[in-house]
């Protein structure tokens, strides 16, 4: 077991004192980096890259070579589980993800099994193992999955959607079929994340990209309930340390209180609410991860630095803040601006932690 | 002056007692109706339809022939103002709106003038006059405009966007240029809506489709501030009646309190919060318009009816509710389901108004 040299990310998620605010970015291994685009080219398709543990490891490490980030996140896709279930994922040029065999009825849902994480999904676990070895304790590795509701939207729609007509049609007219699907997905995600933890993931995050398209009632019944089921079923320890669990429902700013009650350790927060207000909502229950508007990275360095200060001040003093963007980094961002951002978080966060060991 | 036969929509917006809850739908004149598609075919392009007062009137009236809706809304587009400013709007097949001459710098912004509503935009005023005549007092006519921020996003991006990189880049790096643009737009929208009111619009609504992509701070500075400027400058009377003003920021559920303080009469609410919570936020300051999930119209009639009851109950007894969807109706909805919806609102809302004249 390699010693973890930088654990401020894990400590902050558990609301323990740290020296400076840890920072990472959603989609930090991505298209804004020329070296990512080169590896992607070498790999073939996007899924070829996901399925090649050595290349997935390579792109996972790339942003850490450029910036002093405090965590690495497994390079993979949220749709690996439906693909392993037999829906045949592909990425059509400029169209986003497509399933050749979307779910259309109860019989399709009944036929789904829980994929074996060390079977059809072994390539993901191999990537986790390869990355952990390559990281050699430099920073912790985050594993992740899509939420059951978010996976269900793609599985029923057959791809991306703006209107969610098919998946909501099933939810409204055949709630039992939808619950069956979500339960199968919750079991699958639980097993998938536990396997990632066994393979070496030191924290896990559940991306509920589409929870925010639901009414408050439907969010609780069809999204949050199944994230709760996953949180209840996760192995929360690895290498003798607690494995923190982060939930992120994009557009879920109004539901942070309910999310915090699932027993997760931290919540991702998008940029449509102030961290000060988010913190007031959740109190001491969970840490918060976020929430700078990703578009600020289009701005000039001095404006980026100013915005970092604003977000740090909004969270304020005390433990429990992991700095992140409120959503994934955009593909046309200048990589130099990311350096400005990451350094600014470290530089300007010192004063928010100076007294934390005393205050504890 | 023709007498208004059904004024429950106007009364509800002003929080006066009504017999049943009034109902209309955003995009009620739209592609889900076969008769709309036929007129659209006849007109040529989408903008040809907007610019033809007789045909714009025809599609405005179409949904009223099918359903007992309590308001008509002018058929037009939110991008008429930037088009009149010379940005050359066109709708490319399957691509949404495009401007051939987007704004790229301060000089572009400085060159913009306030369009003459009875000049370049006379076709809109002619449509209002034609529709008012054709309605003959059947229901009130709603005029509308996009919000300055929403118009600015299209004008700077050159069309639709998911990332808002250009417009936010200008906002962050050249805030003075952005404020100049928004001020010109606020003046233009004020003059445009006042002309619609003079031409016969009996209520007006400002659609802030993209306010919800901003942080709370930027929303107040770059969107709400300019809607406030418009509200302050509107003529609030027509035919001896007050002309109510409705503001709608999609995704703005967290900012209802601030929106209510602009002096508008009502707020549009999307489906991501409960009307009961929205009502608690705004108190007696404004009426609320919304907020059923538009996707419910994909469901079976009995499920639609059940959802109507839920939304009515969430608002509860008392004045100040206009029933609407939380966003525009989707194009693939079965028109029969709309009938179920509209009738259910009228049928099941009686009991929420029985005592309102006593309570007054």
Bridge-based pairing state of the strands B89-92 and B96-99: antiparallel
The answer to whether the beta carbons of residues A31 and A24 sit under 8 Å apart is no
Q: Is B275 on the interface with A (CB under 8 A)?
A: no
Q: What's residue B2's pLDDT?
A: 80
The predicted model gives B80-93 an average pLDDT of 92
Neighbours of A65 (CB within 10 A): 9
Domain B8-359 top-level CATH class: alpha beta
With a pLDDT cut of 90, the percent of chain B lying above it is: 94
Neighbours of B336 (CB within 10 A): 11
Residues of A in contact with B273 (CB under 8 A): 216, 254
A168 touches chain B (CB under 8 A): yes
Q: Is A77 an active-site residue? A: yes
Q: Mean pLDDT, to the nearest integer, of A292-296?
A: 98
Check if A271 contacts B (Cβ < 8 Å). Answer: yes
Signed CA dihedral, A68, A71, A77, A80: sign only: positive
Residue B283: CA count within 13 A, CB half-sphere: 5
- Tell me the chain A residues in contact with residue B293 when contact means C-beta distances shorter than 8 Å: 168, 214-215, 218
Contacts of B165 in chain A (CB under 8 A): 295, 298, 330, 332
pLDDT of B357 over the 80 cut: no
- The Cα angle at residue A195 between residues A49 and A36, in degrees rounded to 5: 20
Q: What is the 3-state secondary structure (H, E, C) of chain B?
A: CCCCCCCHHHHHHCCCCCCCCCECCCCCCCCCCHHHHHHHHHHCCHHHHHCCHHHHHHHHHHHHHHCCCCCEECCCCCCHHHHHHHHCEEEECCCEEEECCCCCCHHHHHCCCCCCCCCCCHHHHHHHHHHHHHHCCCCCEEEEEECHHHHHHHHHHCECCCCCHHHHHHHHHCHHHHHHHHHHHHHHHHHHHHHHHHHCCCEEEEEECCHHHCCHHHHHHHHHHHHHHHHHHCCCEECCEECCEEEEECCCHHHHHHHHCCCCCEEEECCCCCHHHHHHHHCCCCEEEEEECHHHHHCCHHHHHHHHHHHHHHHCCCCCEEEEECCCCCCCCCHHHHHHHHHHHHHHHHHHCCCHHHHC
**Is B32 an annotated catalytic residue?**
no
Is A40 catalytic? The answer is yes
Search chain B and give the residue with CA nearest A306.
B172
How many Cβ contacts (< 8 angstroms) between chains A and B? 96
**Would you place residue B360 in the very low, low, confident or very high pLDDT band (cuts 50, 70, 90)?**
very low
Give A111 or B355, the one with higher predicted confidence: A111
B214 in contact with chain A, both atoms CB, cutoff 8 A: yes
Cβ–Cβ gap B293/A218 under 8 Å: yes
- Determine contact: B212 vs chain A, CB below 8 A: yes
Residue in B229, B228, B240, B237 with CA at minimum distance from that of residue B203: B237
Query: Is position B7 annotated as part of the catalytic site?
Result: no
SS (H, E, C) B309-323: HHHHHHHCCCCCEEE
Residue A263 pLDDT exceeds 50: yes
| Local confidence band at B352 (pLDDT 50, 70, 90 cut-offs) | very high
Q: What tens digit of pLDDT does each residue of A26-66 get?
A: 999 999 999 999 999 999 999 999 999 999 999 999 999 99
Residues with Cβ within 8 Å of residue B201, at least 6 apart in sequence: B74, B128, B141, B142, B143, B193, B238, B243
Q: Which of residues 239-268 of A touch B (CB under 8 A)?
A: 251, 253-254
Residue A98: closest CA among A81, A113, A111, A79: A79
How sure is the predictor about A93, in pLDDT bands with cuts at 50, 70 and 90? confident
The 10s digit of each residue's pLDDT in B203-256 is 999 999 999 999 999 999 999 999 999 999 999 998 889 999 999 999 999 999
Mean pLDDT score, B249-277? 97
Active site (annotated) includes residue B27: yes
In B, which residues are within 8 Å of A332 by CB distance?
Answer: 163, 165
In CATH, the number for domain A31-277 is 3.20.20.210
Quick check: A273 and B254 CB within 8 A? yes
**How far does A270 lie from chain B, in Å, by closest CA?**
9
Residue-wise pLDDT for B20-61, tens only, equals 999 999 999 999 999 999 999 999 999 999 999 999 999 999
Chain B residues within an 8 Å CB radius of A271: 215
């Amino acid at each position: 077991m390699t010693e973890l040299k930088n654990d401020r990310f894990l400590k902050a998620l558990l609301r323990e004192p740290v020296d400076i605010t840890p920072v990472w970015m959603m989609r930090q291994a991505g298209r804004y980096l020329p070296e990512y685009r080169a590896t992607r080219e070498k790999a073939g398709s996007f899924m070829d890259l996901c399925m090649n543990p050595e290349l997935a490891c390579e792109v996972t490490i790339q942003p850490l070579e450029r910036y002093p980030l405090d965590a690495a996140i497994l390079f993979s896709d949220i749709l690996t589980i439906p693909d392993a279930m037999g829906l045949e994922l592909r990425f059509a040029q400029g169209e986003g993800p497509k399933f050749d065999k979307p779910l259309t009825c109860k019989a399709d849902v009944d036929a789904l099994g829980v994929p074996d994480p060390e079977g059809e999904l072994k390539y993901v676990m191999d990537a986790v193992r390869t990355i952990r070895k390559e990281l050699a304790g430099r920073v912790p590795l985050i594993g992740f999955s899509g939420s059951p509701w978010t996976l269900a939207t793609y599985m029923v729609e057959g791809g991306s959607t703006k209107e969610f007509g098919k998946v909501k049609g099933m939810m409204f007219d055949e709630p039992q079929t939808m619950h069956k699907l979500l339960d199968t997905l919750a079991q699958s995600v639980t097993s998938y994340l536990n396997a990632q933890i066994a393979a070496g993931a030191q924290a896990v995050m559940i991306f509920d990209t589409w929870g925010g398209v639901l009414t408050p009632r439907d969010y609780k019944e069809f999204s949050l309930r199944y994230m709760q089921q996953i949180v209840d079923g996760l192995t929360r320890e690895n290498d003798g340390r607690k494995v923190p669990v982060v939930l992120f429902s994009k557009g879920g700013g109004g539901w942070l209180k309910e999310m915090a009650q699932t027993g997760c350790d931290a919540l991702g927060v998008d940029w449509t609410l102030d961290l000060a207000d988010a913190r007031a909502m959740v109190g001491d229950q969970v840490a918060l991860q976020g929430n700078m508007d990703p578009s600020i990275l289009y701005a000039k360095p001095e404006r980026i630095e100013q915005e970092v200060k604003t977000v740090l001040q909004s969270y304020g003093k005390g433990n429990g803040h992991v700095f992140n963007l409120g959503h994934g980094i955009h593909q046309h961002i200048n990589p130099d601006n990311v350096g400005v951002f990451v350094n600014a978080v470290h530089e300007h966060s010192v004063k928010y932690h100076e007294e934390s060991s005393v205050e504890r």
